[in-house]
Structure 1
């Protein structure tokens, strides 16, 4: 080979060696780390960089993950993060930049020149940031000769949902810092979720899980002899050991483990209540989580009592309307599909987890199904009115509460759909036809009622705004079913005023603060659209100081509702609770 050929080969080899040579564990002052670039600990076990979740490709996060190929869980081509710097403040697209600026501040910049400060200082200092071999990302102050003067900030002080060996759960008594783990909102959203694992602040030497602000689980007091907790046990000895430290500056728990078989050990708080260990790096069970705490059964099961409690779980208090013989934990059915009509979505939906949604559904006596409202698994939508579950190719999961007979058609749809393909097709076709016809009937009925009210010198109809030029005291409004549900607190028994021959009446409060009486026509009352129309026509025409005034109505599917002004001392009861002959 001539000299020119040897030079070409050496040039190609030098390009191949560039990635390996350029990998570093330190971000020097004035340098930047962009999307696609990485820091790697000197032992090769950890990496730091920007990544995106699969269902949120327009948002990027700065995180740390194990550099391991044996796990089968990946996000954006990297392993599941063990730490996320900006979990609640994503950077849009791939514009994120990590830097240690000339003042020594550690910050994440975006393309719009906005920044997230991880550490700030008013006095300019020399500093750099290093990814250590234990997975701790540390900002260090430097002396004038480049030697390390001390640590200024570390990622271990700001954990997300994962505990690594060496990390702490407890309190820094000097700075007031609290070390806790908080679950993700969902598997596709790293924002803070429902569950928080930390040390009991009451100095009981135990760990607790909070669901929002309520105690969900207790570990029991730490036992020095076993270096573990009574309610944090393992079926076999995995080598996990907890130690307890207490002095004038801090009090905390941390854990260690045997170097084998846990090549990459971690403890994680899941978005649906579990504390899990993971066999990362074990060839026999790559990436398999070993659940060591789960209160899904104990917190919702009717057979579980605090007297028989050996799990540390705290039972959820359900309203009296719920059937105490049913298991609202593991017996909840989850199926891919959709509902035949929209449910009620909560206004703070983006901050809610599926666990929050489950609790909201259970505490509402009318709720029988719930689901995440958003694509990333966050938010909450519940169903409290008559609706059908439909098996579809949708990626959305609908959760259906267990029932005794009153939702037989719901179970039938699911069972038949799961057992036979042909009946499934017929069922889906029938449901679609039913949906189309019911929607058509609903629209026709509502339009007909509006026309007839207008044609009989009734007040004008309004969908938010008056139809006429003048705002009349007698105008009728068409209310949405969602607004009715919200105003009555989901037809709560506490809002119930009474019940007549045609159905129950509830007290409601509209968004503008007005108190109203809401008459919900019962399906078994025998009152059809004609009777409903006649009642609306009669009451709309009658105006007297001693007679209740009709404010509007609602028609949605089989729901037929009249909304009256609330007059506790007038003739409200004669119209709402009596079986009037309206012909």
Structure 2
């Protein structure tokens, strides 16, 4: 019996070792001489983060491959956004189970699956080696040849220098110093005062292109008590002042922000309890929406709306000033324009959203389109005098064309007549009041100036009301 018991215990222990060996076979380090092929992964301790090759879009046309770090096996706080909000990329089908939080080669994609990730034995730097092409450097540090790379539990990818016995000598480089569009706990937004290096987030160019986009989040060196969102270099909005761990204008549920300032650096960072979320993040998406792991952080990033018919421009935001009437919008159609448009430079790295805004801000713009059809980048706009021609031949393209909303502007002439009659009645009433005021105070010398002011201001007020009625009548007749 004792012998059988020992055999059972030995078998159980052997199974335990096999299972443990399998669970720890997933590596979190890349050593000198090793490589990570497309399809292989590094897995952080406890399995929260993975690093490997990925493609942002599962479209058959997309063959671009990137090295990235992502959250793995999300379980909590992944609620969907309301329909009126633009959906972040990680709520699209290809990202329901992963959230990409850092990308090594966002501006230099690989166009095949034959690349490998390894440490260059000549200089100790981490590089991507495409098959038969020049290597893409991820790190560029003056390093000893004996180095290793570790994907840490925090999601930080770290290049270490090693002693001859394999122990860690020191850190040479870390991905947390070079965030892409996502801020994780432990990352910073600010500036290193000694080196001048800045920590900031920059959005993807489009929903499926991780290249540097139009929106940036960081700290203005001259305004250090808040964070700033820039659109193509222009201040778009701010977070408001930090007070008790929260920004005045941002709502990041359960996130506690902290500001640090010393002789070496000035920066913001944040922390969040595991009880609130196991997958914290603050991300600026390709459309300029600031989101955390569950919802929009900043309501002021919502899409623009047309101006009213009485406004030549929208007054709330200089970036969104438009000349278009409320009766007009832009609709996607396939075809071509009758003439050439104005093309912006490729170096401007414009997205379709940028192109839309350029058109809205141009009073003569009647259509706009992306010049790069594969990823909806680049911009061409057309002015009045050109017409859209619907077609489905080889020269056709998707163009957003100005059109009038059906039903708007019809039978609006009566509104102007009603306003004009109301103005006439108001004029008669005010003139009667002014005459009454004049007779009441005519014997009081000290009150004469009041009567004079009434007599002068009433006609002026009536005149402005008359102009308003004329403008509305003109709008109604124009679109009827």
- TM-score of the superposition, structure 2-length normalised? 0.67
Flag the structure with more relative contact order, 1 or 2, with Cα contacts below 8 A and sequence separation at least 6: 2
- Checking the alignment, whether the CA contact within 8 Å between 1:26 and 1:131 is kept in structure 2 is yes
1:172 CA drift (Å): 1.2
Partner of 1:60: 65
1:247 CA drift (Å): 1.0
| CA–CA distance in structure 2, aligned partners of residues 158 and 318 of structure 1 | 34
1:338 CA drift (Å): 1.9
Answering whether residue 233 of structure 2 is matched by residue 213 of structure 1, we say yes
| CA–CA distance in structure 2, aligned partners of residues 304 and 85 of structure 1 | 49
Cα–Cα, structure 1 residues 107 and 299, in superposed 2: closer, same or farther, change >3 Å? farther
1:412 CA drift (Å): 4.7
Residue 359 of structure 2 aligns to a residue whose secondary structure is helix
Answering whether residue 341 of structure 2 is matched by residue 338 of structure 1, we say no
Answering whether residue 91 of structure 2 is matched by residue 92 of structure 1, we say no
1:254 CA drift (Å): 0.9
Between Structure 1 and Structure 2, how many residues are aligned?
Answer: 367
Query: Cα RMSD between the aligned structures?
Result: 3.7
Per-residue Cα deviation, 1:560-581 (whole angstroms, up to 9, x for no partner): xxxxxxxxxxxxxxxxxxxxxx
- Checking the alignment, whether the CA contact within 8 Å between 2:38 and 2:52 is kept in structure 1 is yes
Residue 225 of structure 2 aligns to a residue whose secondary structure is coil
| CA–CA distance in structure 1, aligned partners of residues 263 and 51 of structure 2 | 34
| CA–CA distance in structure 1, aligned partners of residues 280 and 389 of structure 2 | 42
Partner of 2:197: 177
Per-residue Cα deviation, 1:171-202 (whole angstroms, up to 9, x for no partner): 11122111110111100111111110001110
Residue 47 of structure 2 aligns to a residue whose secondary structure is coil
1:166 CA drift (Å): 1.4
Partner of 1:362: 360
1:115 CA drift (Å): 1.2
Gap runs ≥5 in structure 2: 1-16, 79-90, 409-480
Per-residue Cα deviation, 1:48-99 (whole angstroms, up to 9, x for no partner): 0011132453221100000125565454897231111110011121122111
Segments of 4+ in structure 1 off by > 4 A?
A: 14-21, 69-72, 74-78, 296-305, 331-335, 388-392, 395-401
Cα–Cα, structure 1 residues 347 and 219, in superposed 2: closer, same or farther, change >3 Å? closer
Cα–Cα, structure 1 residues 192 and 175, in superposed 2: closer, same or farther, change >3 Å? same
Cα–Cα, structure 1 residues 214 and 240, in superposed 2: closer, same or farther, change >3 Å? same
1:107 CA drift (Å): 1.1
Partner of 1:139: 159
The structure that is helix-richer by fraction is: 2
Question: Where in structure 2 are the equivalents of 1:109-128 lying within 5 Å?
Answer: 109-122=129-142, 124-128=144-148
Cα–Cα, structure 1 residues 262 and 143, in superposed 2: closer, same or farther, change >3 Å? same
Per-residue Cα deviation, 1:330-362 (whole angstroms, up to 9, x for no partner): x95554x32453763625347211232123212
- Checking the alignment, whether the CA contact within 8 Å between 1:334 and 1:397 is kept in structure 2 is no
1:378 CA drift (Å): 1.6
Gap runs ≥5 in structure 1: 1-13, 280-288, 402-406, 415-583
- Checking the alignment, whether the CA contact within 8 Å between 1:299 and 1:316 is kept in structure 2 is no
Residue 357 of structure 1 aligns to a residue whose secondary structure is helix
Partner of 2:296: 290
For 1:82, which of 101, 107, 118 is the aligned residue? Answer: 101
Partner of 1:202: 222
Answering whether residue 153 of structure 2 is matched by residue 153 of structure 1, we say no
Partner of 2:350: 352
Cα–Cα, structure 1 residues 41 and 302, in superposed 2: closer, same or farther, change >3 Å? farther
